[in-house]
Amino acid sequence: MPLCLNAACRAALSISLKAAVATAVLSSSPWATARAQELVVPIGLSSPLSGPQSGNGQDNLAGAKLAVDEVNARKPSVGGRPLRLVLKAEDDQADPRQGVAVAQKLVDSGVRFVVGPYNSGVTMPASRVYDQAGVVVATVSSNPKITQQGFSRLFRVGSAWARPTPRWA
């Protein structure tokens, strides 16, 4: 089955992965676990993996796995210590309440970087949980109110639906 991954999702994942690596370089935070000198950095994914929007969610999951595998295949290191990214994917079911539960679960598990949520209706309430925990979030959600909340670690990498979208032939 061919991998379908849109540019916005790739951009969101790229931002999160770069933020994870940069933070690992600059500090030895509690989210980074040392196992035999290996620096393990968990990356969270919140996406609708089941339900009516599961096709998009499964595409997001496949893209996230691909990106993490590509980074790990390069065998990166930080300060002479091997770095390994670990994907922690959770199904928010495109439901705001489930999205908040997923956000809390990811925070409680030590995730400090999240790609997602995919839907604006999930991102709005979940972003408060992530912000209070200091988690960096890159989302493709399009509601402009998401970034108007003023959360300094929340990045909306897709265009806002308030702007006109050019038509392609």
% residues pLDDT > 70 (the chain)? 73
- DSSP-assigned letters across all residues of 74-113: T--EETTEEEEEEEEEEE-TT-HHHHHHHHHHHHHTT--E
pLDDT digits (tens, 9 = 90+) for 35-90: 558 999 999 999 999 999 999 999 999 999 999 999 999 999 988 899 999 999 99
pLDDT digits (tens, 9 = 90+) for 77-136: 988 899 999 999 999 999 999 999 999 999 999 999 999 999 999 999 999 999 999 999
- Kindly report whether the peptide bond that precedes residue 117 is cis, defined as omega within 30 degrees of 0: yes
Predicted TM-score (pTM) of the model is 0.78
The DSSP symbol for 59 reads: H
Cβ neighbours of residue 11 under 8 Å, at least 6 residues apart?
A: 138, 157
pLDDT digits (tens, 9 = 90+) for 29-40: 544 555 558 999
Buried b (16+ CB within 10 A) or exposed e, 53-67: bbebbbbbbbbbeeb
pLDDT digits (tens, 9 = 90+) for 14-27: 655 666 555 554 44
Domain residue ranges of the chain, discontinuous segments joined by +: 7-156
**Listed residue (20, 127, 145) closest to 76, CA to CA:** 20
- The pair phi, psi for residue 65, each rounded to 5°, is -60, -45
What's the pLDDT score for residue 159? 74
Q: Which two tokens stand for residue 166?
A: 């050019």
Rounded CA separation 57/70 (Å): 20
Architecture of the domain spanning 7-156 = 3-Layer(aba) Sandwich (3.40)
